[in-house]
Amino acid sequence: METTWKGWKWTALALLALAALLALRLALAWRGASAAGTPFSARAVVAEPFRWPDLAAGAWNVFRSGAAPAPAAPAGQLAARYRLAGVFLILGDPDAAAAENRCAILDDVQDQRQILAGEGEDVGPARVVRVAADHVVLSADGREETLVLAAGTLPGRGGSAPGAPAAEAPKILETTRFGNRVGETRWEINKAAVLEYYREMMDNPERLAGLFNAMEPDRDTEGKVAGYRLNVARGEKDFYTQVGLRDGDVVRKVNSMRMTSQRRAEYFIGEFVQDRLGAVVIDVERDGQPQKLVYLVK
């Protein structure tokens, strides 16, 4: 009964609207006739016939049933398979004025693996079309889908695209002053906590010196710096261990920038403080094996 009443209500409203349009049409015709000095009845004969306004084919079904418009199409198969964990800015030479280049950190839910990919690279059956600071566009089979940053364990970080299946919250494996460890080599870092620690260092030159001195140059066969080896005995052991670094780790790259001088390390710190890094990826050599440590910054 209620559905029928709604249907009649929408029908009545539609008829009233059309009647108003017809009345307006007649009024305009009468004014034109008066201005030209021609009787209205004669003008009305030669006037263009009234045309019904064009409506989409399915519009009348709404008036008849009172049903709400159909919801937006749900997210597709790519959004169901992949999660955008983070986006990091690829750092180049500090002295080079290069365009910004970003890389996406994707979780393949189907294959249970982490993928780092830039624009134009393939991720399983999909290709990365565009990487922005807070979303990525993937394409497959001639169609594109946009993935936004997935929510994490820290408040205010990420969300989900309309229609995308809700991502299961990461399991917190460890909590430190700086955030949560959510994987074997992945952390969600609270930027405010890191900046607070940074201010402590700036107010205590001895501790700041210990922070840098703990990273000893690791040289190649030609004597050139090829990275920095962590020696926690030289200072700030608590900081390094709380962010997942171990004594003896050799830092080779940070966000793809080779660590070959202290100037590069200072450049990286500056980018972080200026809030330009949504994620940090550190390439380390641990026990002779390469590893990537991923830090998603909130």
Helices (H), 37-105: 40-46, 59-65, 77-81
Lowest mean pLDDT among 92-101, 132-141, 259-268: 92-101
Closest alpha carbon to 236 in 251, 205, 214: 214
Using CA atoms, how far apart are residues 150 and 272, in angstroms rounded to an integer? 21
Helix residue ranges per DSSP H, 144-204: 191-202
Q: 50-95 pLDDT, tens per residue?
A: 444 444 444 444 444 454 544 444 458 899 999 999 999 999 877 7
| Predicted local distance difference test score (pLDDT) of residue 12 | 53
pLDDT recorded at residue 63: 42
What pLDDT, in 10s, does the model give residues 228-249?
Answer: 999 999 999 999 999 999 999 9
Range(s) of the chain covered by CATH 2.30.30.830: 77-148
Q: Residue with structure tokens 């990420």? A: 158
* CA–CA separation, 250 and 80 (whole Å): 37
pLDDT score, position 72: 40
Cβ atoms 240, 214 nearer than 8 A: yes
Quote the mean pLDDT of the chain: 80
Q: Quote the CA–CA distance of 281 and 268 in Å, as a whole number.
A: 11
Q: Does the pLDDT of residue 4 top 50, yes or no?
A: no
Q: Could you give the CA distance from residue 116 to residue 145 in angstroms, rounded to a whole number?
A: 18
**Residue 70: predicted pLDDT:** 42
Segment 108-117 long-range contacts (CB within 8 Å, at least 24 positions apart) = 108/81, 108/82, 109/80, 109/81, 109/82, 109/83, 110/81, 114/85, 114/183, 114/186, 114/294, 116/281, 116/292
> pLDDT tens digit string along 111-164?
999 999 999 999 999 999 999 999 999 999 999 999 999 988 887 656 655 555
CATH for 77-148, among 3.90.330.10, 3.30.365.10, 2.30.30.830, 2.60.120.260? 2.30.30.830
Q: Of 17, 16, 42, which Cα lies nearest the Cα of 29?
A: 42
Higher pLDDT, 7 or 155: 155
End-to-end CA separation in angstroms for the chain = 53
Residue 160 pLDDT? 57
Q: Report the percentage of the chain scoring pLDDT > 70.
A: 69
Q: Which residues, 6+ apart, have CB-to-CB distance to 180 below 8 Å?
A: 153, 154, 170, 172, 173, 174, 187, 188
pLDDT for position 95 = 72
Rounded to 10°, the helix 205-213/191-202 angle is 110
% of the chain exceeding 90 in pLDDT: 57
Report whether pLDDT(46) > 50. no
In contact, 86 and 298? CB cutoff 8 Å: no
pLDDT at 47 over 90: no
- pLDDT > 50? residue 260: yes
Least confident of 71-80, 104-113, 275-284: 71-80
Q: Where in the chain is the domain with CATH 2.30.42.10?
A: 174-297
Q: What is the CATH number of domain 174-297?
A: 2.30.42.10
Name the residue among 115, 155, 154 with its Cα closest to residue 131: 115
